[in-house]
């Protein structure tokens, strides 16, 4: 908003003095030039400010991932006392990074007056971070005010609908609006999550219709396999495990861990 006001003011000032000096035609030309020059300059400065803040958040998450990878390597050298303890340690590293990233998003607030859409973009980012921390109420509040475009944010919003018990008209309307723009693997993931929710709701026909429509835009193997299962009446075998972390990050299912066999020591 401030960017536009400053550009209008700059254009008006340039136009006024140019018109007084050279006439109204040159005043109009200089006014337009001043408007776009001011808007371009302010836009570049704002873009740089946003980029620096985004890079700070990326650094926080990358540093956390490096710590997690280092800890996993240590577990391979010196196995933990139990899988639960190891999982809790890794989750703590992830959660600490998410909270640091949430704090870092506060640095965007002074920029909201300069770009009215930025606040909605950051709300989507905060919604994802709150969801990662399993703060679902706060995640819903952020997503209600967010610009939701990427497939993970779309999936999180649908998962929040499901958690809130709102799996009817609101979910269907949201999905219909978002799936139209999704292509390729993004369409496969979004449609598959929606179909999973509809199956939980007991609406197998809606789940099959969603996957059938998504097949026009994607040939993702998980999508094709689950579509075949529904066509052949095997809805109980529906699985999104093939999407890996994208799916399990929604906390709608726990990954199945196969029990490890204890190795017997070889005799000397």
Each of the 268 residues of the chain gets a pLDDT tens digit; together they read 556 566 556 556 665 556 666 776 766 776 666 666 656 776 676 778 888 888 888 898 888 888 878 877 877 777 767 777 777 787 888 888 889 999 999 988 888 877 778 899 999 999 999 999 999 999 999 999 999 989 999 999 999 999 988 767 889 999 999 998 889 999 999 999 999 999 999 999 999 999 999 999 899 999 999 999 999 999 999 999 999 989 999 999 987 754 444 433 333 2
Q: Are 184 and 133 in a shared domain?
A: no
Let me know if residue 65 belongs to a domain: yes
| Secondary structure class of 168 (helix, strand, coil) | coil
Domain span at residue 135 reads: 117-145
Rounded CA separation 145/143 (Å): 5
| Secondary structure class of 103 (helix, strand, coil) | helix
Q: How many domains does the chain have?
A: 3
CB 156 within 8 A of CB 139: yes
Rounded CA separation 37/233 (Å): 62
CB 226 within 8 A of CB 199: no
Q: What is the mean pLDDT of the chain?
A: 82
Rounded CA separation 18/26 (Å): 6
Q: State the pLDDT at residue 266.
A: 36
Let me know if residue 257 belongs to a domain: no
Domain boundary among 65, 90, 112: 112
User: Considering the entire predicted model, what is its pTM?
Assistant: 0.78
**Can you read off the two tokens belonging to residue 2?**
């401030």
CB 144 within 8 A of CB 136: no
Q: State the pLDDT at residue 262.
A: 40
Angle subtended by helix axes 118-132 and 151-163, to nearest 10: 60
How is residue 105 annotated by DSSP?
Answer: H
H-run or E-run covering 219: none
Let me know if residue 51 belongs to a domain: yes
Q: Are 107 and 2 in a shared domain?
A: yes
Contacts of residue 93, defined as CB under 8 A and 6 or more positions apart, other chains included, come to 64, 67, 68, 71
Domain boundary among 89, 112, 135: 112
H-run or E-run covering 56: helix 24-77
Q: Are 154 and 211 in a shared domain?
A: yes
Give the CA radius of gyration of the chain. Answer: 25
CB 19 within 8 A of CB 6: no
Q: State the pLDDT at residue 268.
A: 28
Q: Are 157 and 135 in a shared domain?
A: no
């Amino acid at each position: 908003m401030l960017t536009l006001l400053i550009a209008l003011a700059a254009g008006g000032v340039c136009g006024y003095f140019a018109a007084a000096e050279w006439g109204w035609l040159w005043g109009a030309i200089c006014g337009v030039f001043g408007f776009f020059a001011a808007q371009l300059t302010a836009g570049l400065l704002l873009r740089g400010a946003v980029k620096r803040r985004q890079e700070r958040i990326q650094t926080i998450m990358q540093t956390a991932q490096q710590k997690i990878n280092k800890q996993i390597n240590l577990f391979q050298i010196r196995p933990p006392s139990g899988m639960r303890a190891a999982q809790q340690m890794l989750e703590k590293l992830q959660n600490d990074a998410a909270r640091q990233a949430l704090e870092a998003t506060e640095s965007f607030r002074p920029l909201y007056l300069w770009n009215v859409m930025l606040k909605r973009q950051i709300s989507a980012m905060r919604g994802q971070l709150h969801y990662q921390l399993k703060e679902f109420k706060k995640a819903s509040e952020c997503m209600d005010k967010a610009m939701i475009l990427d497939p993970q944010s779309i999936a999180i919003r649908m998962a929040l609908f499901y958690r809130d018990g709102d799996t009817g008209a609101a979910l269907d309307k949201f999905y219909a609006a978002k799936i139209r723009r999704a292509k390729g693997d993004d369409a496969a993931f979004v449609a598959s999550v929606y179909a999973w929710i509809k199956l939980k709701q007991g609406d197998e026909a809606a789940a099959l219709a969603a996957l059938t429509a998504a097949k026009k835009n994607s040939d993702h193997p998980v999508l094709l396999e689950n579509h075949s299962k529904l066509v052949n009446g095997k809805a109980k075998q529906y699985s999104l495990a093939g999407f890996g972390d994208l799916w399990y990050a929604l906390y709608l299912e726990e990954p199945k861990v196969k029990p490890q066999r204890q190795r017997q020591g070889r005799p000397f």
